[in-house]
Structure 1
């Protein structure tokens, strides 16, 4: 049971991308199934691939190929990324409420940044399809630095770019590594429980400061 007591408003909110701002699972799943079809293997259902979408190509491919993935990792990742980049925004959409949430944050003069583990080439290709996200000036991708989440450095780097102390920033994400990174960066952490959680995940044990089940619930945490 999670108590939702009001907190001091943040000066900045940093967001994960896949499973938090954007519902990218349909296009990631389509890329995975394109690889499987090329290999003449059975396709994976949305029920299977959606909970894995936040974890990127490695987790998706490992689920589909099992132990074989280890021996063919580079080949399979290259095929997956080619398939994904050719149709990166065919079915991807903003989660319901995200557009309104971003507008409200701007109205309240709360800065916004994106910190994702998605490779920068894919991040930069995807964001222009969504003008509100493309307008966000501070974007840290999985290869922007030498380390990625759950390391705190990408979050700290984003806060530095915003010129806002990390302790006055919130980080919102849907995966355990997001919460861990936020905690290590000394930010207030918010679990996007509407995102890509699997049946095996145990979010109650991750220690997020707050849980939200819809993007707009974020605004209620300090109002």
Structure 2
């Protein structure tokens, strides 16, 4: 199905969209479980816990292993993870080229993540191009987590772009729900941590299997003054 979109800014999720942080998250979580005498989790299991914030992840893990004090588990995980943010994490293949392409298109970019903002800043500063993004917005006191739309609206305000002209790019259902709640276009990426059928069930405007596919769409959009009709790529409308 063809769809005509107008995109003037792009908001990216971080974990599972721009950077593969699963190896460090898994390593740190398993270190904490080891301290509790629990068996290690596979990366595939941990993958299913990512997206809703570390508190929710810790609560699910605590429930799984019968650990009474989920708060203490969470605190220990955060303390360990903040010192091991980029031990094994790397940008996904093709992401650096996608960001460079967006720079050439002069598209304003932002990061909107449920990761703690201080950690998000460190990961992006270490692994992604300098000055690639305007606002880098993560979780902090007083700010709602995705899928609540407030943080996405904050990003669009800081970029001075109407939410209806923003494309929200993410790898989980939470990201797509955030886009819908914020009145933004949505792009599901299947190279991250979400399951493709679950993402497709959210009826995103775009569904991309590789960063190069998303870049091609954006290049065609900007080549037509930010208005485009796609036929060859996977493009859907609500």
Quickly say closer, same or farther: Cα 1:67–1:30, change in 2 above 3 A: closer
- Equivalent runs, 1:107-186 vs 2, <5 Å: 107-132=104-129, 135-143=132-140, 145-186=142-183
Where does residue 231 of structure 2 map in the other structure?
none
Supply the distance in 1 between the matched residues of 2:214 and 2:100 (Cα, whole angstroms).
13
* Alpha-carbon distance, 1:6 to partner: 6.0
Between the two proteins, the alignment pairs up a number of residues equal to 219
Deviations 1:127-167 (A, max 9, x none): 22124166422111122753121111111110100011111
So what's the TM-score if we normalise by structure 2? 0.84
Where does residue 219 of structure 1 map in the other structure?
215
* Alpha-carbon distance, 1:193 to partner: 1.4
Q: Tell whether the 8 Å contact from 1:191 to 1:211 is kept in structure 2 after alignment.
A: yes
Q: Tell whether the 8 Å contact from 1:27 to 1:84 is kept in structure 2 after alignment.
A: yes
Q: Tell whether the 8 Å contact from 2:103 to 2:132 is kept in structure 1 after alignment.
A: no
The range that moved more, 144-153 or 84-93, is 144-153
Supply the distance in 1 between the matched residues of 2:67 and 2:3 (Cα, whole angstroms).
46
Q: Tell whether the 8 Å contact from 1:52 to 1:198 is kept in structure 2 after alignment.
A: no
Where does residue 232 of structure 2 map in the other structure?
none
- Equivalent runs, 1:37-116 vs 2, <5 Å: 37-66=34-63, 71-116=68-113
RMSD of equivalent CA atoms: 2.2
Structure 2 portions without partners, runs of 5+: 221-238
Structure 1 portions without partners, runs of 5+: none
Q: Tell whether the 8 Å contact from 1:23 to 1:93 is kept in structure 2 after alignment.
A: yes
Structure with greater helix share of residues = 1
* Alpha-carbon distance, 1:41 to partner: 1.2
Match for residue 210 of structure 1 among 206, 210, 215: 206
Off by >4 Å, runs of 4+ in structure 1: 67-70
Supply the distance in 2 between the matched residues of 1:67 and 1:144 (Cα, whole angstroms).
27
Supply the distance in 2 between the matched residues of 1:169 and 1:214 (Cα, whole angstroms).
20
What secondary structure is seen at the aligned counterpart in 2 of 1:117? strand
So what's the TM-score if we normalise by structure 1? 0.89
Supply the distance in 2 between the matched residues of 1:100 and 1:34 (Cα, whole angstroms).
34
* Alpha-carbon distance, 1:171 to partner: 0.2
Quickly say closer, same or farther: Cα 1:186–1:25, change in 2 above 3 A: same
What secondary structure is seen at the aligned counterpart in 2 of 1:27? helix
Match for residue 193 of structure 1 among 171, 190, 194: 190
